Each structure stands twice: as C-alpha cells, then as structure tokens.
C-alpha cells in the first residue's frame, strides 16, 4: 500500500466536503432569492424593471400664431442638429467608417455651411475621450436644405438629430408685435421660450405640455412585442389668432420700407385700427428685425408703439378740442389774438409755431393752423385746467390700455405748473404712447364710445380646432357724446381741406379724411429741445371716411433726412395715404361722391354799410376782408354778379384810407385782389401760400407801392418754427425742473 494513499483520500474527502457545502449554500441561496425576491437587500424585480424599462419624452408642438384670416405668421417646422461621432468603436467595417476620420477636411467642409470658425470646428472634432460632439448654436436649428447639402458631402461620422424650430414665413412682418423665441438649455434638454411680443405674453399657452412613454425593451433597447406600455399624450400648445390682417400689415410694411429707404429716419411708428371694435389691424416700426435670423434685433429690441411714451405734439389738440366741444366752450367763430400767451404774468411766453401768429383769428382757424396759443387759451380760459385734466383721464391718456402685449408703458402727464398745464393742452411737455392715442381716438371715430385696443382675436386648440377663448370688443369709456364726436370730426376735416390747414398733404381722392398733424420737439441731452428743421417727430392721426370712420391710422416719423427743409408731411403722408386708401379699398369701402362747394352769386355791396355787408357775406359762407377804416363800402372784389365758392375771400374797400391786411396763409389768387384794388406792384417768391409779406399789416397802402410775398406749402409753413420759440420753450421746461 502506498504511504501517500491515506493523504490523498483525506484530501479528496475534504475537497468533496467543500463542494457539497458550496452546493448546499448555492441551493439555499437560490431558494432564498426565489422566496424573498431580493438580493443584497435590493428587490430584483425592480432592478429588472429598471434595466429593461425605457422612458421617452413625447414633445409638445408649440402653437401657431395666425392672422385674423388664418394666415400663418409663426409656426414650428422641422429642423436638425448637427452631430459628429468621434469614437472609433462605432466603426465595424473599416471600409465604411462611422466616425470622423479626417478632422481637418471635415472642419473645412462644415465651415461652409454653419456659422462657426473652421478652427473651432477642428478643435471640437479632435477632443480626446469624447464619444460624440455637437456644435452649439451654430449646429442647431439647421434647415432641411442645409442638412441635404452637408449629407451630400458624405463626411464619415457626420449625422443629424431631427428637431423642431420656430419659423416665421413672412420674415420681417409685425416682428415687434409677434416677437421671437429663444432656446434655453438645462441638463442637455432644450426648451423653447418666447421673447418679446405675443411669443412672450402667450408663452404658456403656446408652449403646451410634453407627454411621456414608458415601455419594456430587450437588452438593446428595442420594444418587446408583448411588453407593457404606458403613454401620457403630449398636449400641444394652443394657436393664437391675432386681429392683424396680413394684407393691411403688408400695405404698412411696404410703405414703411419705402420711407425708410428714401428718408432714413431714426424711427417710424405706425398703427392701423378699427375704431368700431378696437381691433389692431396692423402695427409696425422701423427699425425692425427678422425673427428667423435675429438680424437687426439690437436696434429694435422693443415695441415702440406700446413701450415708449413721448411728446405727441399737436395730435394732442384733438382731445383738448373734444373736451372743449363737449363742455360747450368751443365757439369756432369766436376770435382770439394769436402769437403769444402767458399762463401767468410770471410764466415764460408760449408762442405759435411761426413766432408771430396771424393776428386776431377765429378758434377754428386756430385749429386749422395748429395754433398753440389757441389751445393754451382754451385750456386756461375756456375749459379750466382742472377740467382739462379730468378729460385727459377720461380719454385714458394717463394709464396703460391693457392691450395683450408685454411691457406696456403709461402716459406721463406733466401738470404741476400753469405753464405745464398749458403746454399739455397742445402736446408738449407731456408724454403718451401711440397706443394710448389710438384708444382715445376711437371715441372720436366711434361716436363717443372709447374701445379698448386689442390684438388677440381668439385662442384655438391646435389639435381639434375648437375655440377655447374668443375676445369681444370692450367699451372702456364714453368721454364725449355722439354729437360731440361728429362735430369734432367736422372740425378736423377742415384741417385737411382748408387752404389754411396744416393737413393738406393728407387728402385722399374719394374719401373724406378727418385728422390732425403733429410736430413734436425732441428733448436733447442738455435739457433743451433739439434745434434744426428736421429734428422733430412728425406725425398724423387721421380717420376715414369722416362721417362713419372705418379706420384710424397713426403715423409718426422721427428725424427724417429732409435736407433741412422740415417738410415732415412728405414721409408721414407717404405712409398714411397709401395705407389708408389701399386698406379702405381692400375692406370694400366705396369712395363717396365728391362734394363740390356750393356756388353763390355775389350781390353789389357798394353804398352799403360795412356792418351790413359783413353780415350778408358771413351768412353766405364767405370770408370777408375789410380794407380801410371807413364805414361804407365803395368797391369790392370779386365784382358784383360774380359766381364765387363758399369760403372764398371777398375784399371790401371802404371810404377810408387803405391799410394792408395780414395775408399770412393767403393764396396768390386772394393776394391779387388786394394788388388790383390798391394799385400795387407785386413780386412773388415760391409757390403755395403766403409765409411773409414786405408791407407789414396795418401799414397804409399807396398806389404804386411794391408788395413782395414769399409763398410756401402749408407743411413748410407749419414746420418753420422760429429759434426764438424753441429757446423760450426750452427755458420754460428748464424752469419747471
């Protein structure tokens, strides 16, 4: 017997015992796990569920923004994110590499299609230890066209992830109203957030809510045929329908582009509204931006019509006039002395824009000529300052309108000192927003009912098309009566139709326009107003047709390049006129038959008293001018029996010495009547209406004297404010601070 045999048997027995022990331990552990369902204190079922269960996000589609007729203004569209695979593990067949093989060539080619330097692309493609890389903002939101061009290069390792981006099919179209979206990143998840305009104020409704999907998968992540699935559907964002009309907005965009190109103004602000409902049919500004590319956003980062208040200038006279008519203190035929005004004996003087005024004229002529003194006088002596302040609030000029756009500003009413109260009456010193002016103007156009402006028509479910919420017109006040509104429109029409009016450039063939021009001074950095004929905000607030206005249009143009002429009506009318006319025609508002002024045959006044002749002429609608200090008429022009039009000047020569009248604003035809009657010689400079005359008013006329008159257009006349007036206005403002 081998001596080693007992040891071998013992070793085998020990080894066998160990294996038997391990076997029983394994059997025990197996049944223990089977019974308890746990391993190391962890539930195995949960671990298996975690390993083979997948969860995905069902992305909600952002709602569309549409115009009132369902035309798309903003929508989500397919976009692509550029990805570069760097890991060689992705390549199975070296002949068909699935990773970036040549970083230098790849960077060179990609730089042609994305906005990133070739060196930065190369740096990203050569990062160590990265499985894949992206290219930041430059590599996201790529169009299908760019994707196709990059794919055609067949660059190894370059692929794409499908995504969505916000798309604005009309480009620079009501951009400051609609706004744009930004993509924010958190934990490698990108979220779209509205910035500016409707995209911002309706971001929550437009965004919707993402859904989710949970499913069982195999080891490689594929869905098991009989696996359990749990789906929470995404709720797409709601669609927002605006009151904007794409056609009218296009009229406005085209007109603003033309003016911006020709006159290069610092700013343009324009609004088109329906006075019956408060609907904003168009709203725009220059400079603007393209929401697809953000080009121009640094110069146009907010909505000027909503977020900016500034001195309105003489468009404010509309509301002072309405208050005076409502209070029965505006007599169009009553006269006042134009030229200058002092709110108190110690207050700085307020001047008319031509420095000297037009002598004693009626308040209606003061409106037509845009006399500051007329409205300062009305504010203090007719209405009273407290009543004026009351109407400013009634017209909503001191608080936001509540339009559905973000960051709306409120008017800032300067009303502490008497001079401030006077200047507020004609639109200086006080600042209000364009949208506040539009709201107030609806009361004039809508027979006293002031409508809240709004720009959202309805909210619609994106998937079902069901209307969730529909906006209805809202009356926010009745500051004046229907009768007052009609009278105010009648008076404002004469601003456009009268030869003395400052609004002659805003006549539209076939349509009666009521409105008011504005020329607002611009405060400079030193507290004084800017000087120079072009350094103003030129504006016009008008409505048409006058008897039943269907549209209100406000246009303001700041500091256009007019070659130092100050002819602000040129750029403003180049927007107002085509937009108003084209929009009325588009809305099927037929032109009215043009009224012709009534004709009268002049009687013979020779031998009559001046008083009796004036009474007859006034009753027949003529504008009588008396030459001389006598009491009896000895001659007249036009001659007796002549058929003349309402409003024509009739010159009555008396038996006293002849004196020169103030001919400021007269037509050359009327000047010729004086020349013929007094036997004067005439020199004429320019075209249009009289701005100055060589023989001063009230100077005795002699046969053979030479009269020289300088003629300009009404717009030139209106904007030629004297340096004296500007300096005194600046001193006035400085003294109030």
Helices assigned H by DSSP within 213-271: 246-263
Among 79, 201, 314, 732, the one annotated catalytic: 314
Tell me the C-alpha distance between 614 and 81, whole Å: 84
Answer yes or no: are the C-beta atoms of 208 and 201 closer than 8 Å: no
**Helix, strand or coil for residue 691?**
strand
For 376, phi then psi, to 5°, come to: -65, -40
Half-sphere exposure of 352 (CA within 13 A, CB side): 25
Nearest CA to 725 among 424, 363, 340, 346? 340
If you write DSSP's letter for every residue of 559-609 in order, what string do you get?
Answer: S---TT---THHHHHHHHHHHHHHHHHHTT-PPPPPPPPPEEEPP--TTSB
Answer yes or no: are the C-beta atoms of 460 and 340 closer than 8 Å: no
Tell me the C-alpha distance between 383 and 426, whole Å: 14
Tell me the angle at which helices 434-445 and 482-497 cross, rounded to the nearest 10 degrees.
110
- Number of helices (H) and strands (E), helices first, in the chain? 22, 33
Tell me the C-alpha distance between 609 and 387, whole Å: 42
- Beta-sheet pairing, 623-627 with 649-654: parallel
Tell me the C-alpha distance between 157 and 99, whole Å: 4
For 223, phi then psi, to 5°, come to: -65, 130
Q: What are the Cα distances from residue 242, in Å, to 73, 154, 207, 464?
A: 9, 45, 17, 19
Tell me the C-alpha distance between 114 and 179, whole Å: 24
Tell me the C-alpha distance between 121 and 143, whole Å: 19
What residues have CB less than 8 Å from 492, skipping those under 6 apart? 318, 321, 367, 444, 514, 515, 516, 546
For 664, phi then psi, to 5°, come to: -55, 125
Quick one: DSSP state of residue 11? Answer: H
Tell me the angle at which helices 418-425 and 385-394 cross, rounded to the nearest 10 degrees.
50
Q: C-alpha dihedral over 691, 692, 693, 694, to 10 degrees? A: -150
- The string over 638-658, giving b where at least 16 C-beta atoms fall within 10 Å of a residue's C-beta and e elsewhere, is eeeeeebeeebbbbbbbeeeb
Q: Is the dihedral of CA 109, 111, 117, 120 positive or negative?
A: negative
Tell me the C-alpha distance between 167 and 173, whole Å: 12
**Helix, strand or coil for residue 357?**
coil
Tell me the C-alpha distance between 84 and 161, whole Å: 11
Answer yes or no: are the C-beta atoms of 718 and 370 closer than 8 Å: yes
For 731, phi then psi, to 5°, come to: -60, -40
Nearest CA to 434 among 177, 175, 172? 177
Does 592 qualify as catalytic in the annotation? no
Strand ranges in 151-265 using DSSP code E only, listed in sequence order: 158-167, 180-186, 189-195, 211-216, 229-232, 239-242
**Which residues does the annotation mark as catalytic?**
314
């Amino acid at each position: 017997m081998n001596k080693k045999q007992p040891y071998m048997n013992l070793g085998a027995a020990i080894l066998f015992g160990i294996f038997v022990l391990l076997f029983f331990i394994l059997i025990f552990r197996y049944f223990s796990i089977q019974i308890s369902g746990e391993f190391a204190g962890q539930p195995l079922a949960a671990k298996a569920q975690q390993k083979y269960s997948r969860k995905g996000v069902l992305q909600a589609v952002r709602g569309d923004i549409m115009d009132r007729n369902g035309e798309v203004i903003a929508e989500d569209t397919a976009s692509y994110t550029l990805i570069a695979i760097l890991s060689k593990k992705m390549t199975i067949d070296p002949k068909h590499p699935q990773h970036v093989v040549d970083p230098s060539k790849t960077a060179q080619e990609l730089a042609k299609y994305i906005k990133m330097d070739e060196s930065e692309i190369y740096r990203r493609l050569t990062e160590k230890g990265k499985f894949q890389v992206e290219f930041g903002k430059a590599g996201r939101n790529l169009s299908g066209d760019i994707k196709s061009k990059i794919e055609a290069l067949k660059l190894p390792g370059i692929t794409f992830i499908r995504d969505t981006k916000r798309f604005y099919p009309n480009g620079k179209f009501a951009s400051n109203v609609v706004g744009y979206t930004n993509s924010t990143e958190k934990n490698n998840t990108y979220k779209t957030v509205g910035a500016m305009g409707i995209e911002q104020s309706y971001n929550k409704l437009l965004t919707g809510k993402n859904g989710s999907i949970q499913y069982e998968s195999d080891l490689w992540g594929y869905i098991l045929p009989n696996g359990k699935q749990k789906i929470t559907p995404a709720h797409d964002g709601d669609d927002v329908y605006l009151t904007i009309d794409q056609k009218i907005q296009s009229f406005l965009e085209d007109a603003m582009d033309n003016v911006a190109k020709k006159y290069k103004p610092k700013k343009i602000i324009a609004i088109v509204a329906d006075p019956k409902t408060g609907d904003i049919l168009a709203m725009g500004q220059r400079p603007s931006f393209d929401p697809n590319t953000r080009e121009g956003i640094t110069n146009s980062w907010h909505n000027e019509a909503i977020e900016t208040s500034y001195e309105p200038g003489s468009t404010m006279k509309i509301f002072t006039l309405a208050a005076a008519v409502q209070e029965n203190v505006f007599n169009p035929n009553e006269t006042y002395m134009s030229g200058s005004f002092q709110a108190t004996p110690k207050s700085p003087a307020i001047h008319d824009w031509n420095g000297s005024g037009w002598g004693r004229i009626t308040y209606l002529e003061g409106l037509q000529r845009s006399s500051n003194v007329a409205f300062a006088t009305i504010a203090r002596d007719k209405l009273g300052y407290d009543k004026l302040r009351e109407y400013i609030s009634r017209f909503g000029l001191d608080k936001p309108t509540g339009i559905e756009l973000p960051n709306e500003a409120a008017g800032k009413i300067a009303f502490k000192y008497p001079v401030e109260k006077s200047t507020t009456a004609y639109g200086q010193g006080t600042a209000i927003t364009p949208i506040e002016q539009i709201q107030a103007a609806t009361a004039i156009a809508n027979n006293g009912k002031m409508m809240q402006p709004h720009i959202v028509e309805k909210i619609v479910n994106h998937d079902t098309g069901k209307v969730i919420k529909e906006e209805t017109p809202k009356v926010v006040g009745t500051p004046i009566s229907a009768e007052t509104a009609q009278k105010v429109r009648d008076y404002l029409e004469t601003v456009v139709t009268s030869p003395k009016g400052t609004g002659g450039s805003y006549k539209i063939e076939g349509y009666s326009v009521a409105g008011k021009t504005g020329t607002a001074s611009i405060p400079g950095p030193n507290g004084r107003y800017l000087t120079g004929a072009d350094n103003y905000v030129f504006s016009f607030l008008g409505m048409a047709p006058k008897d039943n206005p269907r549209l209100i249009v406000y246009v303001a143009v700041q500091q256009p390049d007019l070659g130092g002429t100050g002819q602000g009506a040129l750029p403003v009318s180049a927007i107002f006129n085509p937009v108003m006319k084209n929009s009325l025609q588009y809305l099927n508002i037929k032109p009215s038959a043009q009224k012709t002024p009534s004709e009268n045959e002049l009687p013979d006044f020779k031998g009559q008293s001046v008083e009796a002749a004036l009474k007859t002429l006034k009753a027949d609608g003529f504008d009588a001018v008396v030459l001389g200090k006598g009491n009896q008429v000895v001659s007249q022009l036009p001659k007796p029996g002549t058929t003349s039009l309402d409003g024509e000047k009739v010159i009555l020569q008396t038996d006293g010495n002849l004196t020169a009248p103030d001919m400021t604003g007269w037509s050359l035809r009327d000047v010729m009547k004086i020349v013929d009657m007094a036997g004067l010689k005439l020199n004429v400079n320019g075209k249009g209406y009289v701005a100055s005359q060589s023989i001063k008013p009230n100077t005795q006329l002699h046969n053979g004297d030479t009269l020289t008159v300088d003629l300009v257009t009404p717009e030139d006349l209106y904007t030629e404010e004297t340096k004296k007036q500007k300096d005194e206005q600046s001193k006035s403002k400085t003294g109030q601070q």
